[in-house]
Structure 1
Amino acid sequence: MNRRDFNFLALATGSLAVLPAFAQDYPAKPIRMIIPSTPGGGTDFTGRQIATKLSEMNGWSVVPDNRPGAGTALGLAEAARARPDGYELVIAQSDNVSLIPLLMKVAYDPVKDLTPVALCAVTPLVILINENSPYKTLADLIKAAKAQPGKLTYGTSGTGGGVHIAMELLQLTAGARMQHVPYKGSTPALADLVGGHLNFAGSSISSAAGLIHSGKVRALAVTSAKRNASLPDVPAVAESGYKDFNAVSFYGVMGPAGIPAPIVARLNADINRILQRPDVKTAFQAQGFDAGGGTPEEFAALIRSEIQKSRDIIKTAGIKVE
């Protein structure tokens, strides 16, 4: 056991020793893990991994419950209204925490109404071109965009989503302008890229993995600060001369505001233990994810930082959701 794992375990053990009577027997009934998406995709994958491993490790009953709607905001709103007793948890991710609340009216404040429990995974987005594209590198693409401001088209899964924000950050960083073409999901955007109707596209790695491995699209760069283990030959944007560029999506467990601190500490310690398991790391890597970890306070700090970063990009780029 490394020092960080020991600290997490010690924190949980010490906290449980002083739990009031109602919390010493936690959990005394099934825990619901709200997954604010349809089955499939990164949010569902993360929720089911954590729910399954918590059940296996502790003998608990942790029940995944898909609650899609409102661009993944519905599930968070439901969690925010729940009793803060640790029996209603939710998978939060970048869009429903740091983007949607800035672009439309939602029934929760991600900072005031929810408790960060544990960061589970982070993943970059990937910049893709058609297999027959003349652009060989990200530098080639940026050069062409600067030579033809507003002419090159790129597709994303929708206006105001994580991919759109990342592409806007790239344009602001590189000093180039491209034409955004929003779609209702990544599948139609990638279909049009394969069909030659877009100059490039942004996507999650998990959504594009099949097309990348089949050779129908080529990955120019990932948007994290360093390369991703699932695409080791694909450079990070920072390697193309844009030092410190970093635009990633995150997934984590949250609950309603007011969950007793000892319960948060126990859940955090257990989830961190899960994320250190080799089988879990391998499963996450297959999705293009890096396993997360850390304290609830560190997760809260990440959320606040990402909200401010998104607010700045949205304002500068003038992004609005119709």
Structure 2
Amino acid sequence: MINRRTVLLSGGALAALALGTGSAMAAGYPEKSIELLIPFSAGGGNDQVARALAAELDGILGQSVVPIQKTGAGGYVAAQAVATAAPDGYTLGHQSLGTLMLGSLMKEQVLDPMTELRFVAQMALIQSAIAVRADSPYQTLDDLVAALKAAPGDLAWGHTGRGGFHFVNGASLLAATGTEALDVPFKGSSNTVAALLGGEIDYAFLSTSNYLGFEDEMRILAFAADQRDDLLPDVPTVAEAGIDMVTVATPSVITVHKDTPDEIVTALQAAIREAVARPSYRERLNGMGIAPVFADEAQILAYLDRNLGPWKELVDAAAATAG
């Protein structure tokens, strides 16, 4: 099912892109304001990304893009609102893709995002970083893994909650290295950072945004990601450190109803591409510790096609262990 949809939508996206970018705007679209549903609490990083994009799109599209909070069920309340709206491009959804897809892999949801939503474009990328205190004896990821192997179960690691992408990356590291550690979940990143800096845990899986302001107190050993992070380009990935593990990033993406016409999706995609390239948007996201990274529909679907199988295997293994 996933592969078939990937082929169909990728082909449609590529055909639409052949028409051009801004010049391919759907005739008359948009003729009124657009709602952008945000499944995150006001003031958080994901909320600010959505609002930063909306501010840029106002000028690019020539109509207001109105951010509306639609929280609940790990993004699925907003997703269902998009899936049941008219397929006319006037109801957009912001989703944290890794979180959304992990939710669908862990339990049955109100909808299947792969068949009931269309992924328009990505406008940011949040990745997991493996962090220790600045005075930690672990200077590299090799050092940390060696310590995990030397004392199975003695070290403690923190994250922002079981089932989230930080947790899945942490479980993946342990599985890939054949090691054990005490799993300590916290409510939110600020509590995880406080526990790390307070010495309650030995290492943590966090985002780059959590590192800002603590540069002198925290050290990032590696990113559990396919690519280096734009904001900390000198920090290696786990693969570069020689660890073959499944990783989960959480791109920020815009979604629409699955039946939204290609010409509207193309118009939105071109507008988002322009917004992400603007210095004002990039500076705003960089200031939050979030990388402004664009990807089109075909690239998003290819990313999911590569990763959904490995993510499912990892989620199932973690559930079996917990049980």
**Which TM bucket (shorter chain)?**
0.7 to 0.9
1:45-101 CA-partner distances (Å, limit 9, x unpaired): 221122111102232110011222223332222222212111110111134421111
Aligned-residue CA RMSD in angstroms? 2.5
Q: CA, structure 1 residues 309+284, in 2 after alignment: closer, same or farther (shift >3 Å)?
A: farther
Moved more, 182-191 or 276-285: 276-285
Structure 2 unaligned segments of length 5 or more: list them. Answer: 1-15
Aligned to 2:242: 241
Structure 1 unaligned segments of length 5 or more: list them. Answer: 1-6
Aligned to 2:301: 300
After TM superposition, the structure 1 = structure 2 runs for residues 87-236 of structure 1, keeping only pairs within 5 Å, are 87-211=90-214, 213=215, 215-236=216-237
Aligned to 2:20: 11
Moved more, 84-93 or 223-232: 223-232
Structure 1 position 45 matched with structure 2 position 48:
yes
Q: How far did 1:243 drift?
A: 5.8
Structure 1 position 275 matched with structure 2 position 276:
yes
User: AA paired with 2:51?
Assistant: R
2 CA distance for matches of 1:278 and 1:14? 22
SS of match in other structure, 2:104: helix
SS of match in other structure, 1:315: helix
Q: How far did 1:291 drift?
A: 2.9
2 CA distance for matches of 1:274 and 1:321? 43
SS of match in other structure, 1:239: coil
Give the paired residue count: 308
1 CA distance for matches of 2:235 and 2:312? 29
Aligned to 2:318: 317
The answer (yes or no) to whether the contact 1:41–1:207 under 8 Å persists in 2 is: no
The answer (yes or no) to whether the contact 1:115–1:254 under 8 Å persists in 2 is: yes
SS of match in other structure, 2:111: coil
Aligned to 2:7: none
1:231-276 CA-partner distances (Å, limit 9, x unpaired): 2443322332226875422111001211111100110111112222
2 CA distance for matches of 1:171 and 1:255? 37
SS of match in other structure, 2:115: coil
1 CA distance for matches of 2:24 and 2:18? 10
User: AA paired with 2:204?
Assistant: A
SS of match in other structure, 2:89: coil
Q: How many percent identity over aligned positions?
A: 30
1 CA distance for matches of 2:321 and 2:28? 47
2 CA distance for matches of 1:102 and 1:244? 18
Q: CA, structure 1 residues 226+263, in 2 after alignment: closer, same or farther (shift >3 Å)?
A: closer
2 CA distance for matches of 1:111 and 1:227? 27
Q: CA, structure 1 residues 46+321, in 2 after alignment: closer, same or farther (shift >3 Å)?
A: farther
